[in-house]
Homo-oligomer: A and B are copies of this chain.
Amino acid sequence: MRAGDLASLARLISRIEHRNHETRTLIELLYPHTGKAQVWGITGPPGAGKSTCVDRIIVHLRAKGKKVAVVAVDPSSPFSGGAILGDRIRMQQHTGDNGVFIRSLGTRGRHGGLSHSTKEVVLALDAAQFDVILVETAGVGQTELDILKLAQTVMVLLVPESGDSIQVMKAGLMEIADVFAVNKSDRPEADKLVRELTQMVGLSPHDADSWMVPVCKTEAVRDVGMTELIASVEKHQEYLSKSGKRAEKAKAFLREEMIDILTEDLRRSIEAILATSGGVEVLDRLLKKEIAPYEAAKLISGSSG
């Protein structure tokens, strides 16, 4: 896999997604080889042109000789089947290029572990020596925000016509955006949105050492403004290194990984206990209101010790 075989990488990632004891062995083996990749996040409302933009970024980065992986995460897509079909279509134009890898992660059959899986897929791609890993999500729900936390630089892609929905999201977007891109910027309302975003950036609390979030104008379809967008992201990456924020982000990533691993462990052992006769009895007593929830939880955690 580390030698660049994409088929074996795809198999490896499926095994990580599958989440059993083997996942852990794989992560432990891969971990020492991680830490070199840049992780870029990209989000925005449906129809903002994220896929087109990601495809353009791939082409630009390939021209610079960089290896690029894309992890497209759609927490609201219930069909991983659909996601896989999408991968095939998107991969077609990069067929035969070992420097590009695209993978979608859906929520089918998952129990809230999507951000944990994504984190470990990113670790695998990092170990596979991709230079840039693009994490693409749709929207800014809780799960998406959790997922974007694992990117070092987050691009937020907006379009003039998103109008009202953007109004609502703006405050949330300000918290996560390192770079704004106003896509489809040939449309009439584009300049207004650029002005609004620039103002918003200026008004947000910052000091001399803060990163000033740039607002780029792009037309991904016609490949306009992509060089500037990529340059902005690269500038943010330099900022992270110089300011010491890169190490901070790496620590926060690992801290969350610890919490995820231990929570996943616990969830499994609780589910196991709830399936035993003792666990069933506790649930029955709870249902009959002989005991209350936190009392019942204590009984269950007692039987785990």
A: which residues have CB within 8 A of B?
24, 27-28, 31-32, 34-35, 46, 75-79, 82, 107, 110, 112, 114, 139-144, 146, 165, 168-169, 171-172, 175, 247, 250-251, 254-255, 257-259, 261-263, 265-267, 270-271, 274, 282-283, 286-287, 289, 292-297, 300-301
Contact = CB atoms under 8 A, between A and B. Distances in A.
A31 B287 contact: no
A286 B194 CA distance: 41
Contacts of A146: 112
A11 B187 CA distance: 48
B274 A258 contact: yes
A258 B287 contact: no
A31 B76 contact: no
Given A171-B78, A292-B31, A267 B274 contact: no
A76 B140 contact: yes
A43 to B, nearest CB: 11
A141 B73 CA distance: 12
Q: Which 3 A-B pairs have the closest CB atoms?
A: A78-B172, A28-B292, A261-B297
A142 B293 contact: no
- What's the number of copies of this chain in the assembled complex? 2
Contact of A283 (B34, B165, B255, B292): B255
Contacts of A259: 267, 270-271
A255 B270 CA distance: 10
B261 A294 contact: yes
Contacts of A274: 255, 258
Given A75-B142, A76-B139, A172-B78, A297 B112 contact: no
B28 A172 contact: no
A292 to B, nearest CB: 4
Given A254-B293, A265-B297, 15 more contacts: A27-B294, A28-B292, A28-B293, A76-B141, A76-B169, A112-B146, A141-B143, A247-B287, A250-B287, A258-B274, A258-B282, A258-B286, A261-B294, A262-B301, A263-B270
Contact of A141 (B32, B141, B254, B296): B141
Nearest to A280: B251
Contact of A78 (B32, B76, B140): B140
Nearest to A28: B292
Contacts of A46: 165
B270 A31 contact: no
25 contacts: A24-B294, A27-B292, A28-B293, A31-B292, A32-B289, A32-B292, A46-B165, A75-B143, A76-B139, A76-B141, A76-B144, A77-B168, A78-B140, A78-B171, A141-B141, A143-B143, A247-B287, A251-B287, A254-B287, A258-B274, A258-B297, A258-B300, A259-B270, A263-B263, A263-B270
